[in-house]
Structure 1
Amino acid sequence: MNFVPSLAVSGKAAGQFFTPESVARSLVQWVVRSPSDVLIDPSCGDGALLVHHPQSRGIEQDPYSAWVARERVPSAAIDCTDFFTWAADTRERFDCAAGNPPFIRYQSFKGLSKNAAAAICRAVGVKLSGLTSTWPAFLIATASLLKPSGRMAFVVPAEIGHAPYARELLGYLLRAFSTVHVIAIREKLFPQLSQDCWLLYCDGRGGTASDVRFSRVDSFEPSPRPPIPDEVAHWSALTQDWGGRLRPLLIPSEARGFYLDISSGGTATRFGDFAKIGIGYVSGDNEFFHLSPSQARHHQIPTEYLVPTVRRGRSLQSNVVDQHMLERWQAADEPCLLLSLPPTGELPETVSRYLETDQGHEASKRYKCRVRRAWYSVPGVSRPDYFLQYMSGDEVRLARNDAGAVCTNSVHGVHLGDFQKASKALSTWESDYTKLSCELEGHPLGGGMLKLEPREAGRISFIGEGLVLPHSIFAEALSVMRRWRHQT
């Protein structure tokens, strides 16, 4: 059917992206063993997959797409309804399944559909968090409709390789099928999307597996059967070493082995071992609370209520935020000053006048502001020892805070706990080993960006003193990871 991204692209109705013909044909070929097999596509869209096997059942919620599918594949049985509520009641069972399930973020997944999906997942022992997108539930519900020895093949977001809920999904699939095969594809299946897509193939419904088959391909090539796996990874080892994440399998096994030997040895240090890492403050209205020097002068805001701030990760252009950098921002009249007011006490008249402006009244109505004790007092403002990029392009920047600045929630603040341990570890920040660690512990955001959540940043590994590294191995592995997130 249609891959529905979290960011809609103009020109595509309802954000739908239909499966390329070569992909649709291959997925159907992978799962259909006999002309009499009955295939289900749980989100069939315009029938792109059903057309390759007319002995099919399609479910599609969008009326127009369902109509197109019926016209395109008149032999298929196609219902225009919500898949989860239909799946919860149907007694039909199928020989195989193929599809491209909607990728809808949790914020938009609600109501009867979400309740039905949760009930289906609970019935097979899977409890997905409230932050889970729709596609894992589509796979689990579809698997529940397969006959013994059934097969399924799906387009899936590449986040199957790193999302926290992917571990629950993969664990279930290994309990439900004798073969679980993930095919990672570097080149985009949907060039118009920032997100990458991989393929998933499962065979032998009713069996169990202890290993995940994994293939790495540069680009999709049509084929009548899944590619030969590049490696077979033990699930127990994947969960122990990598938390059930598949992305580390993108690099050669030799590099993974060296990395694990070092990171689990006594000489390496994790970022979280000596520092607390978290996002900065949430202002509630960045335009109101961040002032440029000229705005501060115009409103006559006293300097004691203004704090220099790092608003964006891209502002970290060097390994230190110092007075010279602040002066450059101020010379460019950037909004680099946070209005930092106490929640109680009398305020200067000029500050009160600024709060009473039309912009101030609008800010006071915003959710993050109106739920505060004093709407104008931004909480969580602190001066970290370092700034760490939350999202980065070519490489992750870490900058020492010599200027005593603060930061927004677009940047991580790093507060050191053990200064001696920090001094030794941070001196190796520029090593290929630690840069590779950023790639392995973080995850791609799309558009070539790497994102590091606080928990991921805490796992970044630093080499010990005097340790001789196989430089070329880590440099090559680093290059591989950056190519896979489309950053060269």
Structure 2
Amino acid sequence: MKFKVDQTTQKLRGGYYTPQNLADFVSKWVLEKQPKSVLEPSCGDGVFIQALHNNKCDKNIELSCFELLDTEVQKASNLCTELGFKNASVTSGDFLVWANDQLDKKIELFDAVIGNPPFIRYQFLEKSFQEQAELVFKKLDQKFTKHTNAWVPFLLSTLALLNKGGRMAMVIPSEIINVMHAQSLRSYMGEICSKILIIDPKEIWFENTLQGAVIIMAEKKTDISIPSEGVGILSVEGSEFLEKSPEVLFNETLGINGETVEGKWTKAVLNKSEISLINKIISHESVHKFKTIATVDVGIVTGANKFFLVDNETVETYNLSAYAHPMFGKSQHCPGILYDENQHKSNQLNNLPTNFLYIESDYNELPLSVQNYIQLGEQEKLNERYKCRIRKPWYKVPSIYSTEIGMLKRCHEAPRLILNSVGAYTTDTAYRITSSFTNAENLVCSFLNPLTAITAELEGRYYGGGVLELVPSEIEKLYIPVIDDYKHDPDTLNQLVKDGKVEEVIRNQGEAIFTKLGFSKQDNEELMKIWQKLRDRRMRK
């Protein structure tokens, strides 16, 4: 959890200004249709106003700008005057307040929208802004979540205010492609837009941030009944694309209709032959959706991991051995696919916190040394944390059970299941998985194949650092080929994964399993290329 007090002023106001060359490119595209009215909902000091001028925009255009900071409002207003815009207004205040008033009128006001909306997590917004953000979703009948970010209601409202056939082009976080909190926006755009193009760079455009950004270019339907061309993603490297015509790029990039618009947009990175191969493989009777063969549950939520997850030295110091149980929760605990006695002992020798403390007795019934340890936690006010204070006693953690299979929430190269042969507990940085179809060893080893790795890239989400994250609902959508009673070599696979040879393992396991199912070695190689393409994009290779 990140707290508001820990965030920089720049992050709290979402103040990452767009480089001029990107603003020029974006503005050039919307001006192709000679709009008579343009909206800039978060103009900052006026980089997009300058971009309109740089593209020789008609100075009689009706330009409506909004900005929260008074100092920036003044800069933008002065710039409009200096550049000779005759019908420009720069309004000081929260754009969403104004937008919600307009949404009530159910009218479309603008031929074009440009800009770079604020990147601010909902939890960091002031209460009044939170209320306005939620109101946008309500007025447009879209599902709201408190995991959203300020840029999402900005796009929703500006699209609603865009005239039929109008264009929106903005610089926004790359997470639009795959995060769950943007699903309402993706669905809404799929409904009202005739085509959507995302220009997806390898580089980070904004300095001093890990936040990946993309250009989104969308044209609104002239008639809601017209089918959408869907979403196209154009991957770019460097700045050469800025020398090309944005109109040509928009027209030449193919959109992929149907499921891409309905769900996450990562699939738009793939071409039709790649999607066709994936669909061919997943239609096989021995390829299963994960939720049909296994259950996924979050790990143990302690509310204070540093108190409940301890090393051997802490156990010995406070005589906690009667309350200590094996545990894992990080990649350093599980470098392979096996969590066995050897791995557990290795972790202990490396002084890792390998013990989970489960203390269920009343305080007065506990030995003095254990009482002292609990007092240590209370001195640090751990008992006042939300998850702890709602428990009685605060140090008795609920939902204590282990499963034969674990899975870390986040991964670097590819996700993997972990065969938990010692019955170790897992924290909420990992998941507890139970197979309902085949034995645990078979499921763990079968998971290592290119198709499952591909669907993890398509269903998961990632952030600026390139780490892949999967939540239970996303894991349930993964596809995995399973041949019941198939004999694997888990010890060899485990050592190869530990040695960093994940790609070799995925290729070999895929070839062994898929050829057994009647597919060719070439099919497996094509799947490998698709996975490498998606993985390298995520990791910005």
Answer whether TM exceeds 0.5 for this pair. yes
- 1:338 aligns to what? 356
CA offset at residue 42 of structure 1? Answer: 0.3
- 2:501 aligns to what? none
- 1:225 aligns to what? 246
| Residues 12, 125 of structure 2: 8 Å contact kept | no
CA RMSD of aligned residues (A): 2.8
- 1:151 aligns to what? 167
- 1:482 aligns to what? 535
Letter in 1 for 2:255: V
- 1:39 aligns to what? 38
How far does the alpha carbon of each residue in 1:205-230 deviate from its partner, in whole angstroms, 9 at most, with x for none?
55334221413222352244341343
Aligned equivalents of 1:360 and 1:384: distance in 2?
A: 34
How far does the alpha carbon of each residue in 1:190-249 deviate from its partner, in whole angstroms, 9 at most, with x for none?
3543232222222245533422141322235224434134322123x436xxx5221022
Aligned equivalents of 2:64 and 2:307: distance in 1?
A: 54
User: Greater CA deviation, 9-18 or 406-415?
Assistant: 9-18
- 1:388 aligns to what? 407
CA offset at residue 426 of structure 1? Answer: 3.5
Letter in 2 for 1:454: P
Q: In 2 relative to 1, CA 207–198 (structure 1 residues): closer, same or farther, beyond 3 Å?
A: farther
CA offset at residue 316 of structure 1? Answer: 1.4
Report the identity percentage: 24
* Other structure's SS at 2:392 match: coil
Q: In 2 relative to 1, CA 408–478 (structure 1 residues): closer, same or farther, beyond 3 Å?
A: same
| Residues 416, 448 of structure 2: 8 Å contact kept | no
TM-score, normalised via structure 2 length: 0.81
| Residues 197, 218 of structure 2: 8 Å contact kept | yes
Letter in 2 for 1:447: G
CA offset at residue 114 of structure 1? Answer: 3.4
Q: In 2 relative to 1, CA 411–382 (structure 1 residues): closer, same or farther, beyond 3 Å?
A: same
- 1:81 aligns to what? 93
- 2:260 aligns to what? 238
Aligned equivalents of 2:447 and 2:285: distance in 1?
A: 18
Unpaired segments ≥5 residues, structure 1: none
CA offset at residue 455 of structure 1? Answer: 1.2
Letter in 1 for 2:325: V
1:66-215 maps to which residues of 2 (within 5 A)? Answer: 66-74=73-81, 75=85, 76-89=88-101, 93-109=109-125, 111-190=127-206, 192-204=208-220, 206-208=222-224, 209-215=227-233
Letter in 2 for 1:230: T
Aligned with residue 64 of structure 1, among 46, 71, 88 = 71
How far does the alpha carbon of each residue in 1:17-63 deviate from its partner, in whole angstroms, 9 at most, with x for none?
11111110111111124777332110111111011226422111122
TM-score, normalised via structure 1 length: 0.89
Aligned equivalents of 1:348 and 1:274: distance in 2?
A: 45
User: Greater CA deviation, 18-27 or 275-284?
Assistant: 275-284
Aligned equivalents of 2:290 and 2:480: distance in 1?
A: 7
Unpaired segments ≥5 residues, structure 2: 54-60, 484-515
User: Greater CA deviation, 352-361 or 74-83?
Assistant: 352-361
Aligned with residue 261 of structure 1, among 280, 289, 305 = 280
Aligned equivalents of 2:297 and 2:344: distance in 1?
A: 22
Matched, 1:27 2:26: yes
User: Greater CA deviation, 263-272 or 8-17?
Assistant: 8-17
Q: In 2 relative to 1, CA 387–127 (structure 1 residues): closer, same or farther, beyond 3 Å?
A: closer
Relative to its length, the structure with more helix (as a share) is 2
User: Greater CA deviation, 221-230 or 444-453?
Assistant: 221-230
1:245-324 maps to which residues of 2 (within 5 A)? Answer: 245-301=264-320, 303-324=321-342
Q: In 2 relative to 1, CA 360–270 (structure 1 residues): closer, same or farther, beyond 3 Å?
A: farther
Aligned equivalents of 2:471 and 2:437: distance in 1?
A: 21
How far does the alpha carbon of each residue in 1:252-274 deviate from its partner, in whole angstroms, 9 at most, with x for none?
33222221222233120232222
- 2:467 aligns to what? 449
User: Greater CA deviation, 6-15 or 398-407?
Assistant: 6-15
Number of equivalent positions: 478
Q: In 2 relative to 1, CA 102–121 (structure 1 residues): closer, same or farther, beyond 3 Å?
A: same
